[in-house]
Chains A and B, each alone.
Chain A
């Protein structure tokens, strides 16, 4: 299998449109309180601008500029780079104001790719909350088969009422605050983000050591309560990386503050690890950004680890004895092997194994 690396990252989220500043806010524990969208708390990107499209373009251009700086590729190289976009809502926010704006999702993906100067093939991927990691998975497929050496991966979820109303209708949202792994957790808080990752065959700081995906058939609404499906995918990612569970230094949990899904993930972790490694969840800080969460949380996590720090878990204060997990921020300078969990509505379960290169 061809080696793949995370060459560059950029992010717009509720923590801001500048990744280094967002990481600083995350590590300082100074995440902004959620705003409100149709009466529900919502972690919005702090950017007010015109109509939906103008704002989307502005966000994309800001993230693109940051990614291009971080990647350091000559402009001409971007012209042939494919772009894979993961999302669960694409440009539905624009259609909420004007149904005539309802367009094929790939048209939105192409518009985003153009903001980044990526002139290669464009694909959209939807697997609900795991869409961003599914996009990364598809990018690895493209890298593996060639002729591409770099693939742009975007996870995007921009303000729309449909997602909030849909998850509210399914009674999966908290009325106030996401509290991942906390005893008082009562649901998710959604958020918006555009996370950009440039994956490359050329060596960089973090290598993709393994990625596993599967489908939890027990229900489209949530994971199998015993955590068996999540554990199987985590185990598969660890095995593909050539690791053993005790060699994992850090797990970025899916944990979104959902009473049952957090419990299923905790059972999965406990079944694999006699003594769980350090744990963190990022959804308390930026919300559950659905199809963007794969790339958004990856950008934040690697940004924090570049500072030698494991991010704190915003919203987690009171341990839940039933979970038996205690997310904890702090020194992460020795974290070399990271497991990154995501799971989502519709049964998609994924785990990404990342290893510090060199």
Chain B
């Protein structure tokens, strides 16, 4: 399995609307902050990777759409009606449909909630998804919290042939979390571990 275009998009909450407008021409307000952050990262990754074919969108997150969820809980607690678009924004799996609307043939899409140290499960699942999709966009996305910016880390997995980073399970590995794994992969770190397994990453010139 080859990993292409490891991409990290970080931005301050105040800059999200401008970044989304600059990228997509409008704010995508109906889908909320979380999906907008996803779209920025996935878009940058797919732009950077030369690829084609049926796409899987496999998104991992620890906390999910926290800001929209808090925004939706407030009116409920006050006994006020919930705004439909606030409810929509609590849904974390919308990136697949939005990418499909942007001319990608999306075969499978899901949001996976996991603990930060379990990020390798995304690679494990992505490898399996390659049985159904020619390419799988894998993302780790978190809204800003505790002084950290919005963070949208993505890579594109393909079966073989392309030049990129060869991913193989196994090895001793250095521990990594969703906070830093893609940056380490992009920097060419050899082995990373998380949860119950490890992955080795080596440069691959292509067939």
Residues of A bordering B, CB below 8 Å: 1, 88, 90, 92, 95-96, 99, 102, 104-106, 109, 121-128, 134, 137-138, 141-142, 144-145, 161-162, 165-170, 213-217, 220, 345-348
Contact = CB atoms under 8 A, between A and B. Distances in A.
Given A95-B73, A162-B90, A345-B91, A123 B121 contact: yes
Contact of B64 (A105, A109, A134): A105
A128 B93 contact: yes
Given A106-B114, A215-B109, A127 B128 contact: no
B76 A127 contact: no
B107 A213 contact: yes
A180 B205 CA distance: 55
Given A128-B93, A217-B97, A165 B81 contact: yes
A214 B81 CA distance: 32
Contacts of B168: none
A298 B146 CA distance: 42
Contacts of A144: 128, 131
User: How many B residues are at the interface, by size bracket?
Assistant: 35 or more
B199 to A, nearest CB: 13
25 contacts: A90-B113, A95-B73, A99-B77, A102-B73, A106-B115, A121-B195, A121-B196, A123-B114, A123-B121, A126-B113, A127-B110, A128-B91, A165-B76, A165-B81, A165-B87, A166-B84, A169-B81, A213-B107, A214-B106, A215-B106, A217-B106, A220-B31, A220-B94, A346-B91, A347-B97
Interface in B1-39: 31
A346 B82 CA distance: 18
A99 B124 contact: no
Interface centre among B66, B113, B127, B196 (most CB of A within 10 A): B113
Contacts of A161: 76
Contacts of B90: 162, 166
Nearest to B62: A104
Contact of A346 (B66, B94, B108, B114): B94
Nearest to A95: B73
Contacts of A162: 72-73, 76, 82, 87, 90
B76 A96 contact: yes
Contacts of B162: none
B113 A105 contact: yes
Contacts of A121: 118, 121, 195-196
A219 B129 CA distance: 24
Interface in B103-125: 106-115, 118, 121, 124-125
B161 interface: no
B96 A215 contact: yes
B177 interface: no
B175 interface: no
A126 B132 CA distance: 19
Contact of A124 (B57, B76, B101, B114): B114
A345 B63 CA distance: 21
A208 to B, nearest CB: 14
B82 A165 contact: yes
Interface in B24-77: 31, 57, 62-64, 66, 69-70, 72-73, 76-77
B82 A127 contact: no
A123 B112 contact: yes
A340 B73 CA distance: 34
B88 interface: yes
A121 B194 CA distance: 12
B113 to A, nearest CB: 3
Contacts of B125: 138, 141
A125 to B, nearest CB: 6
B100 interface: yes
B83 interface: yes
A106 B62 CA distance: 7
Contact of B111 (A92, A125, A165): A125
A127 B109 contact: yes
Nearest to A120: B196
A96 B195 contact: no
Contacts of A90: 113
Contacts of B195: 121
